[in-house]
Each structure stands twice: as C-alpha cells, then as structure tokens.
C-alpha cells in the first residue's frame, strides 16, 4: 500500500510542478518587502512617518468549491479549475510618534470575486477596525473593536481611502491573491514531498 501511495505522490508532485505558475513568488508592486514564515506571510512598507504591515496566512485560504456536479461531467483530460487563495489579511498602520497601532481586519467577500461589470467595486472589504498597543504581539480583547457591519458608509469610505493612500487598494488586493495562491501552491508541493518521504521511510 505504501509503495503505491509513494508512487501516486511522485506523479502528483510532477503534475503540480508542471502547472506551477511561479517558480519564485510574484512581487507586489509599490515597494512592499515580503517575509514568509511557513504559511504566514508579512508584507512591510514604510512611508513618511509610518510603517504599514499586511499579514496573512494561507491555511484555509482556498474557498470550498461548491460545484461538485460539474466535476462529474468533466472530461478526464480537461484542466481542473485553477484554485485561488483569498486569505483574510490584517493591515496594521503604525505611526512613529504614537504608541498605538491601527489594525484593520480585511477579507475577500466570497460573492464578489469574479463579478465583472460593477463599476469600481472593491474586491476586498474591511471587517473590523481596532487600536492595539504598538509592539505587543497579543491583542487585547478589552480594546474596542469596531465591526463595519453597522458602520456609517461615509466613515467606511474614508477608511478605504485611508488604506488606498497607503498602498492597500484593489491592485494590491489582486496582487495579494496572486502571491498567496503561489505561496499556497508552493507549500502544497512541499507538503506532498514531505508526505512522500514520510511514507517511504521504513
């Protein structure tokens, strides 16, 4: 059984490497520096008096495909649909002269992706906004967190503009999907390779 499993994994790795779009991770325009720790990625950008970081994790970032019927009808040689990774991401804006960090929790709404024709609709939304003490890794639940569901839309628009002025706009969000998808694929291939050596190990 293990031999067949290892052989399957070998073939699978070959296939996945064939369809791998990016041998190295795509860059995000606008001078963002990328740090990757396993499945977590962090983008950092410094502008006058501020540091902006965007953090996301690729785990569970691929929306479930709800088209099970279509898979049945697929011809064997057809390409599987491309999986796209749309992770939630957290933007932190740190001003040099304050002890507070503005934290914006953003996500890609599932129904928005791929709906063309709506003019200039944003491909990501802000879900929550809060202040956190700068430099503390653990966020406090005691800090007020603003949920945008009940937010005055004018204030929401200003928050989106505030992000856009710092380089977090639709272009960024598009490139982040591409980066995340490439990263997810890279980690998946690495996982298959680890699994193969694990299975082969006697």
Q: What are phi and psi of 37, to 5 degrees?
A: -125, 100
Given a cut of 50, whether residue 14 has pLDDT beyond it is: yes
Determine, yes or no, domain membership for 162: yes
What are the C-alpha distances in Å from 122 to residues 19, 28, 108, 181? 29, 18, 9, 19
Q: What confidence score (pLDDT) does residue 121 get?
A: 80
Q: What is the CATH number of the domain that holds 172?
A: 3.10.280.10
Determine, yes or no, domain membership for 20: no
- pLDDT confidence bin for 93, thresholds 50/70/90: very high
Determine, yes or no, domain membership for 75: no
- Number of domains present in the structure of the chain: 1
Residue 112: closest CA among 180, 181, 166, 63: 63
Determine, yes or no, domain membership for 14: no
Determine, yes or no, domain membership for 3: no
Domain that holds residue 152: 28-59+83-110+119-188
Determine, yes or no, domain membership for 197: no
Do 76 and 99 contact (CB within 8 A), yes or no?
A: no
Determine, yes or no, domain membership for 71: no
pLDDT, average across residues 23-37 = 92
Percent of the chain's residues with pLDDT above 90: 60
- pLDDT confidence bin for 144, thresholds 50/70/90: confident
Determine, yes or no, domain membership for 39: yes
Q: What confidence score (pLDDT) does residue 129 get?
A: 94
Describe the crossing of helices 170-200 and 2-19 by its angle, rounded to 10 degrees: 150
């Amino acid at each position: 059984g293990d031999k067949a499993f290892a052989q399957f994994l070998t073939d699978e790795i070959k296939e996945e490497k064939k369809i791998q779009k990016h041998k190295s991770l795509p860059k995000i325009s606008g001078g963002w520096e990328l740090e990757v720790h396993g499945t977590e990625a962090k983008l950092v950008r410094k502008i006058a008096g501020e540091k902006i970081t965007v953090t996301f994790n690729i785990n569970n970032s691929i929306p479930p495909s709800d088209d099970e019927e279509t898979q049945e009808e697929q011809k064997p040689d057809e390409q599987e649909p491309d999986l796209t990774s749309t992770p939630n991401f957290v933007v932190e804006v740190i001003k040099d002269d304050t002890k507070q960090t503005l934290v914006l929790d953003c996500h890609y709404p599932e129904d928005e992706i791929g709906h063309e024709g709506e003019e200039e609709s944003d491909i990501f939304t802000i879900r929550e906004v809060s202040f956190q003490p700068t430099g503390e890794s653990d966020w406090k639940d005691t800090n007020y967190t603003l949920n945008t569901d009940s937010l005055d839309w004018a204030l929401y628009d200003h928050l989106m503009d505030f992000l856009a002025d710092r380089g977090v706009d639709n272009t960024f969000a598009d490139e982040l999907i591409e980066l995340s998808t490439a990263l997810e694929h890279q980690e998946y291939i690495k996982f298959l390779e680890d699994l193969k050596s694990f299975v082969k190990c006697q």
